[in-house]
Amino acid sequence: MKKTKVHVIPHTHWDREWYFTSSRSTVYLVKHLSEVLDALESNEGFNYYLMDAQTSLIEDYLKYRPEDEERIKALVKAKRLMTGPWYTQTDQLVISQESVTRNLLYGTRYAKELGHSMEIGYVPDAFGQGGNMPQIYKNFGINRFLFWRGVADNRLKQTEFTWEGDDGTQMLSNQIPFGYYHGGNIPEDVEDIESYVEDFIGRLEAKASTKHVYFPNGLDQAPLRKNLPEIINTFNELDKKREYVLHSPETFFDELEKDVADLPVIKGELTEGKHSRLHKSIFSTRADLKQSNNEIENFLANVLEPILSISYSLGNPYPHRELEEIWKLMFENAAHDSIGGCNSDTTNRDVGYRYKLADEKSKNLLDLHMRLVSERIPYQHDLNFTLFNPLPYKRSGVVKVALYIPEENFSVKDYNGNTIPYSIEKKVELTDYVLKQTIHLNPSKKIYTPEKVFLAEILLYVTNVNGLGYDSFYLDLADNEEQQTSNVSSKKQIENEFFEISLAENNTLTITDKLTKKSYHDQMIFVENGDDGDSYNYSPPREDLLVFSTDAECLQVEYVVSDVEEHLEFTLKMVVPYNLEERANKNADREFVLKAKVALRKDEELIRVEVEMDNQVLSHRLCVQFNTEIASKFSTADQLFGTVTRPVYLPEMAVWEEEKWEEAPISIEPMQSFVSLHHSTSVATVFTEGVREYEIVGESYDTIQLTLFRTFSHMGKTDLLYRPGRASGETIVETPDAQLLGSIKATFAYSIKNETTFDEAEIAKVAKEYLSPMAYYQFSDFLNGRMIYVYRDEEKTNDRSYSLLQLENMNSVISTIKKAEDSDNYIVRVFNPFTERTSTIDETLNENGEFVMLDETTQAEKVKTLKPYQFSTILIGQ
């Protein structure tokens, strides 16, 4: 009989921040990694060390110890100091596909620069694994997977299995069943070793289907066990049934692969919390930070990078380094604790500050490059602006811009002379502020200066704006029609080509589909209830009180109409309990005021909603519900590069307490941007720009419930209704910031499409357009000055209308368009958005492009169509 081989893996799990800040973590990191280098170089038998697979830790260290770079490179190249493939240990369920991709891209690139990137998808502590990750890993040359959380013994009785991604990609996988910290405390006294072996090693041995046992020696920020080789020798001397070796994850898998056979196959998402907590409602923790993350992720991939590509094609430098800095700020925040929001308030303020930096840097980068393009356009009028379309096909519809306008009347026109319908939503006079900042570099040049200047929010209805390009427009003062403004109406109904919407007496919406004449009543109900949870889990109080907007007092209603948009605004005063104690006593006496704006734009099949809430109460949750009238067993939401179908109710809910699950298997789920209920002839969808969390509720599971926010008092609490037993975080750490007192905003949209199927409705494309607004830049001489940095006159070499790339003949959805990292070509990434149909790739990409992996260098198979869940990256020249 062959001996069990215990592969002892020295490692640390290094949270860059948690209840402590990144500043504290970094100070200790420098000490820790310095000791690791000394041990690897000097301690006989100390041949390997796993530095948590995060190259950011190496980068952080070298900021303070640059003299150690060659030492690190030598050890990484020898595959003794293990780093990569990640930049940070990222979440996979609540951040975007491009964030996951770039995290691996920057992580593997830096690791390879150091000498070697570990070719294992190592995820010791993420709260669940995305169903498309096997395909993503494979695109970086990774075919092995090592993790802890997400699989219960209901499906997996052993540690080794084949993980099959949603697209069919398979990879050899090994679970660390009792956590990465299971072997963190190894005894050294002989009398303690025998019992330790039978307990700690024996439990792992019983789970393994081969003679190979993965035994992690380390834990959070754990100090190096300098005498580990000697301890292993002692184990070998005392335990004759097993062989103990100090190894790395790669050497472990090299040997495991030789012995595995007939492995069970597990497919899709790994989100079972029976033995390891998944914290399935962490998607709404710190809604303010989640919203910042989501807005910036969407802006980077959907708007900024495509427009930077346009700018680069016109001769401007592509800002690789600036983008890398922005993305790395996002990666720091995408680490599983940081994005989870399950931190101290001090740490979450650091997270918020990084979002502030990323937001400002990305928006100013966009501003600069739109200006570099615009200042070379030969405008023929005084009040010009340019619309930039980041998607590679022509687009029509309503666009929101903010322009400095004169007091005089004007019309809006394109440079073909077509008049553009518009409406001024609001404006404020800024004459002194703007004109006192104007700077004339060339006093000889006569410039137009308005007598009065207003900053106006304007809605424009444009048609056929160039794909992945721009079109120019101007304000025509000669064609001085009266300024078009929105008007407050006395009618109680708004409408466009697709819907009629009215506000009912019970404060709900009645939505009528004009195509089918079907009306949906009692739509958009706001539901407020208590939250007895903590920074990890939403958990309802054992004694709760639900408050509904149908019982609220409606303080004000306005119906506002124009040629391009109609909307209604209403203010509701809900009366809710102040805290959990008052809620248990059924005492509701505090005002909770929310203002909602529901808008229908010209020619758009979306119902857009903006909500602003004044939160002055504690430990509660607010959701919004849409009754789709579609009884469902499954929901469909977007995930990394595709869609995912999930059951609306998990049968384990009936037995989880009896089976002693670590947390309740609730059906609160994540999404990227949308969730749908649908059947053969109807599709109802909620789209979000904010919190990416939903639940399907109702007696027939026909109602989509979107979480808007949740608040709580402590980082960790014990004995929650949904998570019994110990706390997940520190119970003594109070989190008053997490009560989100003050103004909270949320933006989402709703769509009903009848006489169609989910795939025919192209919901993912609608979501992409919803989150990819056209950008704009105003170019007028009187704006030149301190307000936007002064500029000089440039040679007018750009056309007034331009398109870099038109892809009109495909139904795959764009993930992003960017310049390649290592060539002058462009990266176009597309994915199949459907549940059942194949999707097509434009012939332009097939004929002129080179298909590559996500690493942007390894050649991939050229395809014309994509199956569900598949994606492709295409390298294409100008």
Q: Are 19 and 730 in contact (CB under 8 A)?
A: yes
- In whole angstroms, what is the distance from residue 270 CA to residue 252 CA? 23
Q: pLDDT per residue over 445-503, tens digit each? A: 888 999 999 999 999 999 999 999 999 999 999 987 788 888 888 788 999 999 999 99
Band of pLDDT at residue 694, cut at 50, 70 and 90: very high
Q: pLDDT per residue over 165-206, tens digit each? A: 999 999 999 999 999 999 999 999 999 998 999 999 999 999
- In whole angstroms, what is the distance from residue 503 CA to residue 425 CA? 21
Structural domain of residue 783, as residue ranges? 384-485+774-803
pTM exceeds 0.85: yes
Nearest to 668 by CA among 636, 696, 704: 696
Residue 677: which region, alpha, beta or left (left: phi > 0; alpha: psi -120 to 50)?
beta
- In whole angstroms, what is the distance from residue 480 CA to residue 389 CA? 28
- In whole angstroms, what is the distance from residue 732 CA to residue 844 CA? 59
State whether 681 and 595 are in the same domain. Answer: yes
Q: Are 204 and 215 in contact (CB under 8 A)?
A: yes
- In whole angstroms, what is the distance from residue 17 CA to residue 341 CA? 11
Q: Which residues contact 433 (CB under 8 A, 6 or more apart)?
A: 787
Nearest to 228 by CA among 246, 247, 251: 246
Per-residue pLDDT at 1 exceeds 70: no
The DSSP line for 293-341 is: HHHHHHIIIIIIHHHHHHHHHTTPPP-HHHHHHHHHHHHHHHBHHHHHT
Question: Is 808 inside a domain boundary?
Answer: no
Buried b (16+ CB within 10 A) or exposed e, 427-463: beeeeeebbeebeeeeeeeeeeebeebbebebbbbbe
pLDDT at 696: 98
Question: Is 752 inside a domain boundary?
Answer: yes
Looking at 324, 339, 374, the residue that finishes a domain is: 374
State whether 480 and 570 are in the same domain. Answer: no
- In whole angstroms, what is the distance from residue 182 CA to residue 170 CA? 27
Encoded tokens for 131: 């169903």
- In whole angstroms, what is the distance from residue 867 CA to residue 598 CA? 37
Q: Are 95 and 128 in contact (CB under 8 A)?
A: no
- In whole angstroms, what is the distance from residue 310 CA to residue 494 CA? 38
Which domain CATH number covers 586?
Answer: 2.70.98.30
Q: pLDDT per residue over 337-375, tens digit each? A: 999 999 999 999 999 999 999 999 999 999 999 999 999
- In whole angstroms, what is the distance from residue 394 CA to residue 769 CA? 12
pLDDT at 483: 85
Which domain CATH number covers 113?
Answer: 3.20.110.10
State whether 210 and 154 are in the same domain. Answer: yes
Nearest to 138 by CA among 171, 176, 174, 182: 171
Torsion of CA 424, 430, 436, 439, to 10 degrees: -20
Question: Is 178 inside a domain boundary?
Answer: yes
Angle between helices 69-77 and 55-64 (to 10 degrees): 150
Sign of CA dihedral 55, 288, 93, 817: negative
**Which H or E run contains 51?**
none
- In whole angstroms, what is the distance from residue 439 CA to residue 432 CA? 14
Question: Which is it for strands 411-414 and 469-476: parallel, antiparallel or unpaired?
Answer: antiparallel
Q: pLDDT per residue over 365-406, tens digit each? A: 999 999 999 999 999 999 999 999 999 999 999 999 999 999
pLDDT at 481: 76
Residue 774: which region, alpha, beta or left (left: phi > 0; alpha: psi -120 to 50)?
beta
Number of domains in the chain: 5
State whether 477 and 590 are in the same domain. Answer: no
Q: Are 564 and 459 in contact (CB under 8 A)?
A: yes
At residue 787, what is the residue type?
M
State whether 66 and 199 are in the same domain. Answer: yes
Nearest to 723 by CA among 668, 661, 653, 648: 661
State whether 272 and 287 are in the same domain. Answer: no
- In whole angstroms, what is the distance from residue 867 CA to residue 861 CA? 14
Band of pLDDT at residue 743, cut at 50, 70 and 90: very high
Looking at 317, 346, 374, the residue that finishes a domain is: 374
Q: Are 314 and 369 in contact (CB under 8 A)?
A: no
Band of pLDDT at residue 296, cut at 50, 70 and 90: very high
Angle between helices 97-114 and 320-334 (to 10 degrees): 110
State whether 580 and 554 are in the same domain. Answer: yes
Buried b (16+ CB within 10 A) or exposed e, 591-629: ebbbbbbbbbbbebbbbbbbbebebebbbbbbbbbbbbb
At residue 591, what is the residue type?
E
State whether 636 and 595 are in the same domain. Answer: yes
The DSSP line for 168-207 is: S-EEEEEE-TT-TTTTS----SHHHHHHHIIIIIHHHHHH
Which domain CATH number covers 336?
Answer: 1.20.1270.50
Per-residue pLDDT at 20 exceeds 90: yes
**Which H or E run contains 218?**
none
State whether 366 and 437 are in the same domain. Answer: no
**Which H or E run contains 851?**
strand 850-852
The average pLDDT across 105-133 equals 97
Question: Is 611 inside a domain boundary?
Answer: yes
State whether 357 and 214 are in the same domain. Answer: no
Question: Is 379 inside a domain boundary?
Answer: no
Return the residue matching tokens 């067993």. Answer: 633
At residue 76, what is the residue type?
V
Q: Are 826 and 306 in contact (CB under 8 A)?
A: no
Number of residues in the chain: 878
Q: Are 369 and 313 in contact (CB under 8 A)?
A: no
Nearest to 390 by CA among 102, 763, 769, 689: 769
The DSSP line for 699-725 is: TTT-EEEEEEEE--SBS--SS-SSS-S
Question: Is 660 inside a domain boundary?
Answer: yes
pLDDT at 488: 86
Cα–Cα distances (Å) from 650 to 272, 645, 755, in that order, read: 10, 13, 30
Question: Is 796 inside a domain boundary?
Answer: yes
Express as a percent the part of the chain with pLDDT over 70: 100
Range from 269-273, 328-332, 479-483, 613-617 carrying the lowest mean pLDDT: 479-483
Nearest to 580 by CA among 527, 526, 528, 532: 532
Question: Is 325 inside a domain boundary?
Answer: yes
Question: DSSP label at 544?
Answer: -
State whether 533 and 460 are in the same domain. Answer: no
State whether 817 and 837 are in the same domain. Answer: yes
Cα–Cα distances (Å) from 398 to 422, 480, 603, 751, in that order, read: 9, 22, 8, 17
Encoded tokens for 415: 């440079």
pLDDT at 790: 86
Looking at 241, 276, 311, the residue that finishes a domain is: 276
Cα–Cα distances (Å) from 737 to 40, 289, 734, 858, in that order, read: 43, 11, 9, 46
Which domain CATH number covers 791?
Answer: 2.60.40
pLDDT at 439: 86
Encoded tokens for 623: 């959701």
- In whole angstroms, what is the distance from residue 454 CA to residue 452 CA? 7
The average pLDDT across 715-719 equals 97
At residue 807, what is the residue type?
L
Q: What angle do CA 388, 393, 397 make, to 5 degrees?
A: 65
